[in-house]
Amino acid sequence: MKRAGSHTHAVNPVNDAAATADANLQRAALIALDWGTTSLRAYLYDAAGEVLATRASPAGIMNLPLGAEHGGFDAAFEDACGAWLERAPAVPVIAAGMVGSAQGWVEAPYVDAPASADALVAGIVRVKAACGATLHIVPGVLQRGELPNVMRGEETQIFGALGQETGAVDSSRRTLIGLPGTHAKWAVVQAGRIERFHTFMTGEVFAALREHTILGRTMITPDRPDNEAFLRGVNIARDKGQAGMLATVFSARTLGLTGQLSREQQPDYLSGLLIGHELAGLEAVLAQQQNSLARQHLRLIGNEALCERYRVALAQFGCTHAELVKHATERGLWRVATQAGLVNPTPQAAHAG
């Protein structure tokens, strides 16, 4: 195949794009994978930590096109990164997320909380792909106890968010980091370590209630999110939630039956109820430590629209300092790779990472 980049002064956009891609591959310093249950996202970085290109595919570990037993991990990896590795075969590869679980490509056993970035690096497990590349798989974090907690992938995002800190004061202060989603995580981070964390199955429970209980039967998805209905749910959970979520969720139905909540309002009301119960639960845990949401300067990582919902909900609990951290995933992967010595960042990287 003719190399597009060999043409100087390319006269059409296709050749321009190909030329750019080729120039990028000459600068490639790291490939990093965020490989979860239902999706795979790949990042190509230069030596300064700048993301040169990304690839996304639905080939999560439970969604491999071929199945794990038929080389499904190799095939998905090849599909996502094969073109990059063909031109830049020596580029190191790092991966985080469910790819390191017992159901993943190779198991990277959990490291115990409190966990530092160094502990993650020490727990990296390697697996050789059919194409010859070696993947460095970042372990998840386990918090032992009567109610154990686990994360895989979020630990890397958290270190990505911390990597943005510049002042020494900030890094020693205790920080609460929220990662809304299917299984929302709330982690307490101090002195560069994930001290402890909680999981709330908010996103998955919402989907199960909506799709598989009577509550969904009367719901209609509105054209755009109904913030008022959402807030109503949040405040019910906060002020009238004593009987617990199993009781309050029934009101999505009874408010409909009594003409107080339209079918279009019900989804956002239920979402508000669940997020409200999550935050009320977090508030109860903080209260045991003589703390409160109102006193937190916290950070949110994840889908922007969802994080914005959490910011709105947090404000109902008096927490008005909730900062959205962008690009935490790619920054975290870069940071762990750097700390593991997989890349030797050029000076600019200190800012980019």
* Residue ranges binding a copy of itself (CB under 8 A): 102, 142, 144, 146-150, 183, 198-202, 204-205, 207-209, 211-215, 236, 240, 242-251, 254-255, 257-258, 260, 274, 277-278, 280-282, 284-285, 288
Residues 6+ apart with CB under 8 A from 197: 113, 141, 143, 149, 151, 185, 186, 187, 188
Nearer to a copy of itself, 30 or 115 (CB): 115
Task: For residue 217, count other CB atoms closer than 10 A to its CB.
Answer: 11
221, two tokens = 């998805």
Secondary structure, 3-state, 72-89: HHHHHHHHHHHHHHHHCC
Nearer to a copy of itself, 129 or 188 (CB): 188
- Nearest approach, Cβ of 184 to a copy of itself (angstroms)? 8
C-alpha distances (whole Å) from 23 to each of 2, 3, 6, 28, 85 are 15, 11, 11, 9, 14
User: CA 174, CA 289: separation in Å to the nearest integer?
Assistant: 13
Nearer to a copy of itself, 276 or 345 (CB): 276
Nearer to a copy of itself, 63 or 164 (CB): 63
- Nearest approach, Cβ of 251 to a copy of itself (angstroms)? 5
Nearer to a copy of itself, 73 or 197 (CB): 197
Rg of the chain's alpha carbons, rounded to an integer? 22
- Nearest approach, Cβ of 243 to a copy of itself (angstroms)? 4
- Nearest approach, Cβ of 280 to a copy of itself (angstroms)? 7
3, two tokens = 């190399």
- Nearest approach, Cβ of 107 to a copy of itself (angstroms)? 11
